[in-house]
Amino acid sequence: MGRPVTLFSGQWADLPFEELCKKVSGFGYDGLELACWGDHFEVPLADQAYCDERRNILSAHGLNTWAVSNHLVGQAVCDRIDLRHRSILPDSIWGDGDPEGVRQRAAAEMIKTGHAAKRLGVDVVCGFTGSSIWHLNYSFPAVPKSMIDDGYADFARRWKPILDEYQKLGIRFALEVHPTEIAFDTASAERALQALDYHPAFGFNYDPSHFGYQGADYIGFIYKFADRIFHVHMKDVGWSPFPTEAGVFGGHLEFGDRRRYWDFRSLGRGNIEFEEIIRALNRIGYHGPLSVEWEDSGMDRDHGAAEACEYVNSIDFPPSDVAFDAAFDR
């Protein structure tokens, strides 16, 4: 039997939880990765009775859950807060919009998310960290090394208390390595681990789509951080073999614009080599869920989500427990 195939509910937050469960069950998924926005998993409400109710609703539709995700609040823990964050944060976190207040309330909410996950019976919280230094990514004017050092120190100062609490709870935080985060490729992921003194509660939600168009080695990442792959997103991306009007940085064009160099695609319709990912996950002994994060501006999402579930099930396979030529031994 292969790994469980789940759907990340973040792109479906417009649908009520029970309606989404019914739909996802019909698509053939084994479960949901629950987003902490919409009404899918509401951290302020997540006492034991609420968590039990969520489990019962999932079970009634033949579904399970292995992780919750609080990307939006996590983003605010380290970010340079501005009006963009107003649209993604609940009023209780935004408050009066004072940046440091937002960051502190976001950090407190991430700790509450760990406690809620514990009550739900999962041991992984996926999400973002934000970054105070993402805007310095292109080094002009030249960025002094000390500014980057300060950014990683700020990240460690803000996240270590959260991670210490997660460790007490038996919860692990899985950062989705992603542009705008403190870790956005292999080199920056290593730097983030170093900043945290390799905290045991910190690892990664592996998502190859954010590596491919950058030219980053998304297979090598699995092997380098084999003991830190806490969760896996299955998400595809396509990039053009020809020059385009807007390059890797996107040209301030919306997703779905044909002038872009890259765009997210439904599973199996982009450039990511998923068979190599499955082989790498087999080699490192990853047995957790394969969670479809479905994004494709050019495709109906119901069609895409059903197709993606079928695709992931078709490419997942268990590792062999015997050498293929062992039959020749006597």
Tell me the pLDDT tens digit for each residue of 126-150. Answer: 999 999 999 999 999 999 999 999 9
Task: Label residue 239 by pLDDT band (50, 70, 90).
Answer: very high
Which two tokens mark 226?
């084999």
DSSP 8-state assignment for residue 45? G
> What pLDDT does 210 receive?
97
Residue 246 has φ and ψ, to the nearest 5°, of -120, 130
Tell me the pLDDT tens digit for each residue of 250-309. Answer: 999 999 999 999 999 999 999 999 999 999 999 999 999 999 999 999 999 999 999 999
DSSP 8-state assignment for residue 246? B
* pLDDT at position 321 over 80: no
DSSP 8-state assignment for residue 123? -
Residues with Cβ within 8 Å of 204's Cβ and at least 6 positions away in sequence, in order, are: 174, 175, 176, 177, 183, 189, 225, 228, 229, 230, 231
Average pLDDT over residues 157-170: 98
* pLDDT at position 83 over 90: yes
Residues with Cβ within 8 Å of 55's Cβ and at least 6 positions away in sequence, in order, are: 65, 120, 121
Comparing C-alpha atoms, which of 45, 43, 35 is closest to residue 15?
Answer: 35
Task: Label residue 320 by pLDDT band (50, 70, 90).
Answer: confident
DSSP 8-state assignment for residue 143? P
How many angstroms separate the most distant Cα atoms in the chain? 75
Task: Label residue 326 by pLDDT band (50, 70, 90).
Answer: low
* Helix 186-195 vs helix 145-169: crossing angle, to nearest 10: 70
β-bridge mates for residue 32, sequence order: 7
Task: Label residue 330 by pLDDT band (50, 70, 90).
Answer: low
Q: Tell me how far apart the terminal alpha carbons of the chain are, to the nearest angstrom.
A: 30
Average pLDDT over residues 13-19: 97
Residues with Cβ within 8 Å of 234's Cβ and at least 6 positions away in sequence, in order, are: 5, 267, 274, 290, 291, 292, 293, 308, 312
All structural domains of the chain with their residue ranges: 5-328
Residue 260 has φ and ψ, to the nearest 5°, of -75, 150
How many CB atoms are closer than 10 A to CB 164? 13
CATH class, domain 5-328, is alpha beta
